[in-house]
Structure 1
Amino acid sequence: MTIEVHSLGCRLNLAESEELRGLLADTDDLVVINSCAVTAEAVRQTRQAIRRARRARPDARLLVTGCAAEVERAQIAAMPEVDGIIANTAKLDPRAWNLPASAPAPRPRAYTRAFVQVQNGCDHACTFCVIPQGRGPSRSRSIAEVLDDIAVHVDAGVAEIVLTGVDLTSWGPDLPASPRLGNLCEAILRQFGALPRLRLSSIDGAEVDEALIALLATEKRMMPHVHLSLQSGDDMILKRMRRRHTRAEAIALVERLRASRPDLSVGADLIAGFPTETDAMHAQSVSIIEALGVVHGHVFTYSKRPGTPAARMPQVPSQVARDRAGLLRRAASEQRARWLKSLLGKPLSVLAERGGTGHSAEFAPVRLPDGTRPGTIVSVSPTRIVEGILE
Structure 2
Amino acid sequence: MSAEVISLGCRLNLSESETLRELLAASDDLVVINSCAVTSEAVRQTRQAIRRARKARPDARLLVTGCAAEVERAALAAMPEVDGLIANTAKLDPRAWNAAPRPLAEQRTHTRAFIAVQNGCDHACTFCVIPQGRGPSRSLRVSEVLREVEAHLARGAKEVVLTGVDLTSWGHDLPDAPALGSLVQAILSTFPALTRLRLSSLDGVEIDPLLFDLIADEARIMPHLHLSLQHGNDLILKRMKRRHLRADAVNLVARLKARRPDIAVGADLIAGFPTEDEAAHAGNLSIIRELAIVHGHVFPYSARPGTPAARMPQVTAPTIRARAAELRAAVAGERARWLADQLGLPQQVLAERDGTGHAPSFARVRLAPGTIAGTIVTVTPTQIIEGLLA
TM-score, normalized by the shorter chain, greater than 0.5: yes
Q: Deviations over 1:201-255 (max 9, x none)?
A: 1111011111110001110000000100000000000000000000000000001
For residues 75 and 106 of structure 1, the distance between their equivalents in structure 2, rounded to whole angstroms, comes to 37
Shift of 1:94: 1.8
Aligned to 1:30: 30
Residue 117 of structure 1 aligns to which amino acid in structure 2?
A: A
Aligned to 1:15: 15
For residues 28 and 385 of structure 2, the distance between their equivalents in structure 1, rounded to whole angstroms, comes to 44
Shift of 1:353: 1.3
**1:18–1:128 CA distance, 2 compared to 1 (3 A):** same
For residues 84 and 48 of structure 2, the distance between their equivalents in structure 1, rounded to whole angstroms, comes to 17
Aligned to 2:268: 269
Unpaired runs of 5+ residues, structure 1, are none
Shift of 1:110: 2.7
> Secondary structure at 1:25's aligned position in 2?
coil
Q: Is the CA contact 1:94–1:105 (under 8 Å) kept in the aligned structure 2?
A: no
**Equivalent residue runs for 1:37-76 within 5 Å:** 37-76=37-76
Residue 373 of structure 1 aligns to which amino acid in structure 2?
A: I
Aligned to 2:97: 97
> Secondary structure at 1:341's aligned position in 2?
helix
Q: Does 1:367 align with 2:331?
A: no
Q: Deviations over 1:102-150 (max 9, x none)?
A: x545566432111111000000000000100000000000111111111
> Secondary structure at 1:238's aligned position in 2?
helix
Q: Deviations over 1:40-84 (max 9, x none)?
A: 111111111111111122122111100000000000000011111
Aligned to 2:389: 390
Which stretch has the larger CA shift, 87-96 or 305-314?
87-96
Shift of 1:329: 0.5
**Equivalent residue runs for 1:1-391 within 5 Å:** 1-99=1-99, 104=101, 106=103, 109-391=108-390
Shift of 1:256: 0.7
Residue 193 of structure 2 aligns to which amino acid in structure 1?
A: A
Q: Is the CA contact 1:18–1:109 (under 8 Å) kept in the aligned structure 2?
A: no
Which stretch has the larger CA shift, 131-140 or 381-390?
381-390
Shift of 1:386: 1.4
> Secondary structure at 1:52's aligned position in 2?
helix
For residues 377 and 181 of structure 2, the distance between their equivalents in structure 1, rounded to whole angstroms, comes to 28
Q: Is the CA contact 1:23–1:106 (under 8 Å) kept in the aligned structure 2?
A: no
Residue 81 of structure 1 aligns to which amino acid in structure 2?
A: E
Deviant stretches of 4+, over 4 Å: 103-108
For residues 300 and 199 of structure 1, the distance between their equivalents in structure 2, rounded to whole angstroms, comes to 23
Q: Is the CA contact 1:22–1:106 (under 8 Å) kept in the aligned structure 2?
A: no
Residue 55 of structure 1 aligns to which amino acid in structure 2?
A: K
For residues 105 and 36 of structure 1, the distance between their equivalents in structure 2, rounded to whole angstroms, comes to 27
Q: Is the CA contact 1:64–1:86 (under 8 Å) kept in the aligned structure 2?
A: yes
For residues 250 and 30 of structure 1, the distance between their equivalents in structure 2, rounded to whole angstroms, comes to 44
Shift of 1:16: 0.7
> Secondary structure at 1:203's aligned position in 2?
coil
For residues 377 and 77 of structure 2, the distance between their equivalents in structure 1, rounded to whole angstroms, comes to 48
For residues 283 and 77 of structure 1, the distance between their equivalents in structure 2, rounded to whole angstroms, comes to 42
Shift of 1:369: 2.3
Residue 41 of structure 2 aligns to which amino acid in structure 1?
A: E
Which stretch has the larger CA shift, 53-62 or 81-90?
53-62
Q: Is the CA contact 1:203–1:227 (under 8 Å) kept in the aligned structure 2?
A: yes
RMSD, matched Cα: 1.1
Residue 162 of structure 1 aligns to which amino acid in structure 2?
A: V
